[in-house]
A and B are shown apart, each in its own frame.
Chain A
Amino acid sequence: MATNEEASERLYDAIMALLASYSSKLTTAQKSRITRSATILKAEYDRVLGRTPAAGYEDLAGNLNSAKNRLNQIKKERKALANNLVSAKKIMDAMTGVLNLII
């Protein structure tokens, strides 16, 4: 029996295949059929994963913004580490000078 994880992967792949098959060359009826199928599969995908999908574009913008902020935070932390190492180097150099004098 497939686990939820596996089931969601299969549903995901099916949704992706439908998205990929969409095209400007299709008739309106064909487009509607693809959209209907993808919508049903997507509802199942969310159900299997036990997640509440975004209610609309606004929700998504919020989530993407928070992901963006987390990425920027990582960037800041790397910068802070580099700055700390530079400060530490200065302290080390100062200590080396003092030790040279007293040893």
Chain B
Amino acid sequence: MEANFGNHLASISTAEWYPHPGEGVVACRINVLIALSMLSVGACASNANSNNAKQFGLSTTKALSTINDSSKIQNELLLETKTNHNACRYLNHDTAEQYPLEKSDTQKIEKIAKQAKFLNSLAAYAKAMQGVTNPGDIAELKKASQGFAESTTKLVSVVPVAGVAGTVVAPVTKFVVNGIVNFSEVRRRQAIQQIARETHPYLVDGALFVLQDELPISRALNGKLTAWREQASCVLAAVNRDKAGAYEIFLNFNSKKLNYDRRIKNLGEGPPLMEKVLAAHKALFTSGDNFDLAIDEFNTTISSLLEVKKAAITN
């Protein structure tokens, strides 16, 4: 390609081009385009990298679904605690408040809300990473550049430089326009990588916060679970054990309790998942592969990520 290009350059630079009236402007423009395209040849050589955006999306999804479960657990616990409290009062004919709800039992855990906010901005960032690599946008740009190249070729071929125009100028114009577009795309990829590089330390901060908060959040949720158990016990105590359905009520509470225990324990998987997010994110700007971004798969992972996010918000 480059050798070929050199020949075109030589042809165009010959002085005999300029005496023809009316074509000076065109020749000059083409020289500017050639200068730009040479930049693009250099830029293409620096291999921008990585299809690991896909991996980044995947690991973010996993981490979010695990860590964000804390909000869901909390909301379920608070709601059921309240419901059971009401049931307890109802079953006891509203007489005694044997197990009053403490204010602390109904309050939300501040750390969980703050963490959820961070995770939501992480999801939004991952979504923007997907948006900036949208295959449709890149295809549209390519199509626009091809249309432009063809029209420029036509325009140049109309200018009377018989014998030279068709054979030399047309392929050069096409090459040059595509060169400019490739050049700008390479620059964009570099900019994207630079953004990832600058963002990375903040993700390290975030991973450490998630690590530091895992025990406190689990502990606080276990506190909520204790309050939940107190109200559930009150309901169980008030239910006539000889009546049908009592056993089902017990089973229901029991399986819920086991489920909460399991999910709170599972929050401990959050920090290692954050490590995976960081590894995938780091690969965005360090991997030597082609920066292809495996866009289809990335789209898929991001949509599942957004579903997780939606679930986290509604709870």
A interface residues with partner B (beta carbon < 8 Å): 12, 15-16, 18-26, 28, 31-32, 34-35, 38-39, 42, 45, 49, 51, 53-54, 56-61, 63-65, 67-72, 74-75, 77-79, 81-83, 85-86, 88-89, 92-93, 95-96, 99-100, 103
Contact = CB atoms under 8 A, between A and B. Distances in A.
Contacts of B251: none
A100 B156 CA distance: 11
A57 B129 contact: no
A17 B231 CA distance: 42
A56 B208 CA distance: 10
A81 B115 CA distance: 38
Interface of A is mostly: helix
Interface string B127-143: 11101101001101101
**Chain A CB within 10 Å — which of B137, B140, B151, B279 has the most?**
B151
Contact of B117 (A15, A31, A57): A57
5 contacts: A12-B204, A68-B127, A71-B129, A92-B154, A93-B155
A93 B151 contact: yes
Interface of B: 22, 114-115, 117-118, 120-122, 124-125, 127-129, 131-132, 134, 137-138, 140-141, 143-145, 147-148, 150-152, 154-155, 158-160, 181, 184-185, 188, 191-192, 195-196, 198-199, 201-202, 204-209, 211-212, 214-215, 265-269, 271-272, 274-275, 278-279
Contacts of A16: 275, 278-279
A54 B155 CA distance: 56
Interface of B is mostly: helix
A22 B188 contact: no
B144 A86 contact: yes
Contacts of A38: 208, 211
A85 B188 contact: no
B154 A42 contact: no
A65 B127 CA distance: 11
A60 B202 CA distance: 6
Contacts of B215: 28, 31-32, 35
A42 B195 contact: no
B132 A92 contact: no
A77 B205 CA distance: 31
Contacts of A85: 141, 144-145, 147-148, 181
